Structure 1
Amino acid sequence: MPQRTLSELNRIFSVFKDDVEASEFVTIELANNQIVFKYASVELISRTIEGIYPDYRQIIPQKQETKIIVNRKDLQQAIKSVSLFSKLGLFDIKMTASPEGKLTLFAQDATRGKNDVSIECDVSGKENTIALNYRYILDGLNAIMSEKIEIHLIDGANPFILMPHEDQKDEFIYIVMPIRQ
């Protein structure tokens, strides 16, 4: 759909954000080359962009070497703390999951120093380390509302999945590409 439609939808949400009568849900209907969004008392109709699109399911990793279940807010706080020491412009941090139930985040910059933070989590599978742009993972965490999240890792060269642990597990998948080092 056009970017302008998404901008308008965002504006509608902000207008109704304090309206207690507004629903928490948006109804979305697809028909031919149109999409209809219904929210509160507003109905937004837009055309869809025609074309042939790649099968998005092909980029979703089907296997995992490591599965992490962690408190979303703890992870957000740890990322924000470590990110202060990431390289400017690269926004890189390293994340290591160990089977002993520890997720360690690390960042280092030659001029600002280094920092690491460890948080408790449930880890199944093997130890795994991945370098990532912390901004991307924070964007995904901000979109998830559940208390706990799952991270599925293959290795440091493949995309990983971020998803709610229980609520909306089948409704939301966030894929992040690692930074190759």
Structure 2
Amino acid sequence: MKFDILRDRLLEGLNDVMKAVSSKTTIPILTGIKIDVTEEGIRLTGSDADITIQTFIPVEEDGQQIIHIAETGSIVVQARMFNEIVRKLPTNDVEIQVTPGFQTHIRSGKSEFHLIGSDAAEYPLLPELTEDQKFTIPADLLKTIIRETVFAVATSESRPVLTGVNWQIKNETLICVATDSHRLARRKVQLENLPKVEHSVVIPGKSLNELNKVLEDSTNLVQIVITSQQVLFKTGDVLFFSRLLEGNYPDTTRLIPEEYQTNVTINGKSLLQAIDRASLVARGDRNNVVRFEILDNQAVEVSSNSPEIGKVQEEIPVEALEGESLKISFSAKYMMEALKAIDGQDVVIQFTGAMRPFILRSVHDDAILQLILPVRTY
């Protein structure tokens, strides 16, 4: 195997696939990156068995020759070392050659590295997915859905299924739900090209966070293929596979109240900043608890106190108030993350009582819903 490639284009491809490579894997060959060279171009594959990312670099792109292929073939090279070497090569022209015994030679300018590679035949094959259940979604919308839900997944492995986001497809709607059993984030999206068959799968939160990084600058359409054990996100020349989590995701619809005693409409940005300030004092407390009280004068009070540090209180005007007055306490972290997901818009907060879950929605957009369980302090 022998080819020349432009270093910056090789680095672009490596940046994508390195996101799937983990040094903690129990399968030694997965600490490597697989390089497949064909007449059409080069495929790079990285995997940690949960996530697999593959990217394709064509021989020619936008009329520019990127790769000159002298000999096709495949090799697996140690991922972190190969990535570091390519990053530090002295010129933009790189020649890579594999000789018998999986010896891999990397040359650039006057610099020459010799790495010991591994047999590509030992690298796990990508799953074969039938594409009959596929749909597309714009990359920026997909990134928004991830941002608005993934923060609410559980971090503890005690209930593994809660470490993922539940994606349901029904009635031409994609419903994405994340919960760690103390809070819940839900986003609904109407899409025209959804499969007719109903689906309910759980995508690991870790996979969605990595996908978000891969989509960083993308404005393309993302093609999504869902099967019973895998999901594939396909954008441009990048394929992103993730395994799905096993187990039944809890029915979260019954957690969302049908009726509310109190509705508060308030500027989301002002509330976020006030809770941020209150949390400075609350931080000394293990739960970082902030209190929220509805006052009689069309305002709410946000406060916190800590026996060791002191206390803070702040009044914020509300834009509309219906129903009974109320005192409630909650985790500042959960509330701030929920408000950030709604992204500084005016929010409606709906309460059914001091110890019942409460809901946050955007005034402008019913597609986003955040639910938080209060903390008992009063």
Does residue 2 of structure 1 match 2:204? yes
User: Which amino acid is 1:117 matched to?
Assistant: E
For the structure 1 residues 166 and 3, does the alpha-carbon distance in structure 2 shift closer, same or farther, using more than 3 Å as the test? closer
Distance 1:153 1:178 in 2: 10
Query: When the two structures are superposed, what TM-score results if normalisation uses the length of structure 1?
Result: 0.83
CA contact (8 A) 1:146 1:165 kept: no
Task: State which structure, 1 or 2, has the greater radius of gyration over its C-alpha atoms.
Answer: 2
Does residue 102 of structure 1 match 2:303? no
SS state of the match for residue 356, structure 2?
coil
Residues 1-181 of structure 1 aligned to structure 2 (within 5 Å): 1-13=203-215, 16=216, 19=217, 22-23=218-219, 27=222, 29=224, 31-33=226-228, 34-37=230-233, 42-86=238-282, 87-98=284-295, 100-121=297-318, 122-167=320-365, 169=366, 171-181=367-377
CA contact (8 A) 1:79 1:134 kept: yes
For the structure 1 residues 26 and 116, does the alpha-carbon distance in structure 2 shift closer, same or farther, using more than 3 Å as the test? farther
Distance 1:26 1:138 in 2: 31
SS state of the match for residue 74, structure 1?
helix
For the structure 1 residues 42 and 98, does the alpha-carbon distance in structure 2 shift closer, same or farther, using more than 3 Å as the test? farther
Provide the identity percentage. 26
Query: When the two structures are superposed, what TM-score results if normalisation uses the length of structure 2?
Result: 0.42
CA contact (8 A) 1:146 1:166 kept: no
CA contact (8 A) 1:104 1:118 kept: yes
| Matched residues, number | 172
CA positional deviation for 1:59: 1.1
CA contact (8 A) 2:225 2:233 kept: no
Q: Which moved more, 1:110-119 or 1:27-36?
A: 27-36
Distance 1:120 1:90 in 2: 26
Structure 1 match to 2:172? none
For the structure 1 residues 154 and 47, does the alpha-carbon distance in structure 2 shift closer, same or farther, using more than 3 Å as the test? same
Structure 1 match to 2:126? none
Distance 1:118 1:27 in 2: 44
CA positional deviation for 1:118: 0.7
Distance 1:69 1:27 in 2: 36
Distance 2:297 2:222 in 1: 43
For the structure 1 residues 81 and 43, does the alpha-carbon distance in structure 2 shift closer, same or farther, using more than 3 Å as the test? same
For the structure 1 residues 40 and 153, does the alpha-carbon distance in structure 2 shift closer, same or farther, using more than 3 Å as the test? farther
CA contact (8 A) 2:342 2:362 kept: yes
* Greater RCO structure (CA 8 Å; 6+ sep): 1
User: Which amino acid is 2:334 matched to?
Assistant: Y
For the structure 1 residues 37 and 101, does the alpha-carbon distance in structure 2 shift closer, same or farther, using more than 3 Å as the test? farther
Distance 2:234 2:260 in 1: 37
CA contact (8 A) 1:67 1:124 kept: yes
CA positional deviation for 1:26: 7.5
SS state of the match for residue 281, structure 2?
coil
For the structure 1 residues 156 and 50, does the alpha-carbon distance in structure 2 shift closer, same or farther, using more than 3 Å as the test? same
Distance 1:128 1:111 in 2: 27
For the structure 1 residues 48 and 120, does the alpha-carbon distance in structure 2 shift closer, same or farther, using more than 3 Å as the test? same
User: Which amino acid is 2:209 matched to?
Assistant: S
Unaligned runs of 5+ in 1: none
User: Which amino acid is 1:6 matched to?
Assistant: L
User: Which amino acid is 1:150 matched to?
Assistant: V
SS state of the match for residue 316, structure 2?
strand
CA contact (8 A) 2:223 2:235 kept: no
CA contact (8 A) 1:29 1:37 kept: yes
